[in-house]
Chains A and B, each alone.
Chain A
Amino acid sequence: MAAIEAHELCRTYKTHTGTFRRRTKEVEAVRGVSFTIEPGELFGLLGPNGAGKTTTIKMLITLLIPTAGSARVLGLDVVKDAREVRKRIGYVFGGERGVYERLSGYDNLRYFAELYGVPPKLQKPRIEELLELVGLKGREHERAEGYSRGMKQRLHVARGLLHDPEVLFLDEPTIGLDPVGARELRSTIASLTAAGKTILLTTHYMFEADALCDRIAVISKGSIVAEGTPADLKRGVGQGSVLEVEVYGVDEETIEQVRRLGGVLAVSVEEREQAQVLVVQTQAEVELTSAILGHLNGGQVGRISQREPTLEDAYVALVTEE
């Protein structure tokens, strides 16, 4: 039996504007997402902000009802068997919210241990063990309002593990952490898979997914645009090549013209210090440098370089595709 199965999940939101004459607008956040995650797997859902990652997770953890499609967690339907699903899953999200700031970290955990029905006798040792695991030991009796962002994040992880769930949902757990904190959290996540947990992780950091995940699905504008191991995804653009051109001010129209050149796979613009860098992914066999420079005529051009594609490029190519 698969740990998580999503079948053609869809979710639309209705938004209202106006008070007296209400206008309703439908926003399709997720449009037909399917995937299967095997027990013990660490599966990454990767996509830019607003791609539908969080909405997908919220349907799986029973906080949202799908508008169409179905999903099962450990064989249980997320709509019909919501209670049973909730007992078996843990949910951790990034950011500083979701903590009772006026309570200590320890009290936060005790409260949620009760909500998750952890037997009273087990609560104490379990909390101690988790404090040790996430590295909050020694600070647990301070009020959470004084915790740093990273500490709150680790408190979230401990909370999500209180009832020793078989399946764990991590929604952008490293968002806004400093590099050291993020690395520590990633090693904690890696140790959880080693302990046999099934994990669904969302992130918009490519390297994070690359480092942690067994398999990745790239989601863009509500649909999955690619799925496979990190190696598979890299292979997808492996034959191409990447041209980087430093420019100083480039308009949408020029980018559009470059995008329409034969042999161009994807175009993106990165901001770097004073300059912008136009990143053009091309098929391997074509030589487009002069054609691209031709389109940039008039504008100032800096350093030009060519390199092999990385997983990051694969991702950019996927999420910018029309």
Chain B
Amino acid sequence: MSTLRLLGVGWYFQFKMILRSPFDGIGNVLYPLFFATTALFVFRAGQSPRTLVYASLGAAVMGMWSSVSTSAGSAMQRERWWGTLELLVAAPRHFSLVMLPATLGLATVGIYNLAATLLWGHFVFGIPLTITHPLLFALSVVGTVLAFGGLGLLFAVSFVRFRAAWVLGNFFEYPVWLVCGFLVPLALLPGWVRPISWVLAPTWGMSAIRESALGGTPLPDLLLCLGLGAAYVALGVLVTDRVLYDARGRGTLSLT
């Protein structure tokens, strides 16, 4: 109970801070939007309205992912700059419970990216905004946010150990866009990529969102997405212990 409360309160304050720093977020919204626009131009040249709807949903989830991948590392770096990282570690609650709300907050901002991209596709490219199962769609989006938050946690705590890693946010952006089937059907990718796609929750979150929007069966995908998200959190907790013990041994917590 108190754990849930901690997550809720933490999420509230993290989200509040993100909303109060609009400039940090502008890049996160704009950057994927340029890629979305380029991709939509490509698909429009292909002349199939069905693919355009498919692509606009994919581009929208691309934006969601960007807000997590580019910010999870810098969120950790910011705590270092602010000098609050040590305070968070010195608190008696498990550090992963402190960081998870932060990455969930970033993933929540992704909902904005999702909506912005869908609207952009609608107004600029005239792509219809049809969502067949609104409730399931909403659930799929929330499930995807949770899983992204879990994956972000795994990133963020790894970045405690690899200090330079915060710069690499963009580096994790493209591969996930590519291998999780946002714009390219998985069947088109080489066979050996398939297992990588399967263990990445964004693949299933994307699929659930698409199925619920286009009128399929999103539930199995959604459950897989949530399951993987939970696994990331569990792994994140283990990694946290390891990484923090290591950082206390090496004396790297206060370094910026």
Contacts and interface: CB of A to CB of B under 8 A. Distances in A.
- Is there a direct interface between A and B, measured as CB atoms under 8 Å apart in the complex? yes
Interface of A: 11, 13-14, 55, 58, 61-65, 83, 86-87, 91, 95, 97-103, 107, 110-112, 114-117, 120, 143, 159
Given A99-B82, A101-B82, A103-B16, A86 B5 contact: no
Nearest to B88: A115
A58 to B, nearest CB: 8
Contacts, number: 80
Interface of B: 2, 5-6, 9-10, 13, 16-17, 20-21, 82-84, 86-93, 98, 245, 248-251, 253-254
16 contacts: A13-B251, A55-B251, A58-B254, A61-B90, A63-B90, A64-B248, A65-B248, A98-B86, A98-B87, A99-B82, A103-B17, A110-B9, A111-B13, A114-B9, A117-B92, A159-B87
A62 B2 contact: no
A221 to B, nearest CB: 18
B138 to A, nearest CB: 28
B248 A117 contact: no
A21 B253 CA distance: 24
B16 A107 contact: yes
A58 B20 CA distance: 32
A54 to B, nearest CB: 9
A120 B92 contact: no
Contacts of A61: 90
Contacts of B98: 115
Contacts of B17: 100, 102-103
Contact of A115 (B21, B86, B93, B251): B93
Contact of B5 (A95, A98, A120): A120
Given A63-B248, A115-B93, A98 B83 contact: yes
B91 A116 contact: yes
Contacts of A11: 251
B82 A62 contact: no
A120 B8 CA distance: 13
A112 B87 contact: yes
B16 A83 contact: no
A62 B83 contact: no
A102 B20 contact: yes
From DSSP, what is the main secondary structure of chain A's interface residues? Answer: mixed
A237 to B, nearest CB: 35
Contacts of B250: 14
Contacts of B248: 62-65
Contacts of A65: 245, 248-249
B6 A115 contact: yes
B92 A116 contact: yes
Contact of A114 (B6, B82, B86, B90): B6
Nearest to B2: A117
A199 B10 CA distance: 30
A100 B87 CA distance: 11
Max chain B Cβ within 10 angstroms of own Cβ: one of A55, A99, A111 = A111
A91 B87 contact: yes
B53 to A, nearest CB: 39
The residue among A87, A107, A114 with the most chain B CB atoms within 10 A of its own CB is A114
Given A65-B249, A98-B83, A117-B2, 18 more contacts: A11-B251, A14-B250, A55-B251, A62-B90, A64-B251, A91-B90, A97-B82, A97-B83, A98-B82, A107-B13, A110-B9, A112-B87, A112-B91, A114-B6, A115-B91, A116-B91, A116-B92, A117-B93
A100 B75 CA distance: 13
A103 B13 contact: yes
Contacts of A64: 248, 251, 253
A115 B245 CA distance: 19
A98 B85 CA distance: 8
A117 B90 CA distance: 13
Contacts of B93: 115-117
A238 B83 CA distance: 42
B17 to A, nearest CB: 5
Contacts of A55: 251
A114 B87 CA distance: 13
B84 A100 contact: yes
Contacts of B82: 97-101
A103 B9 CA distance: 13
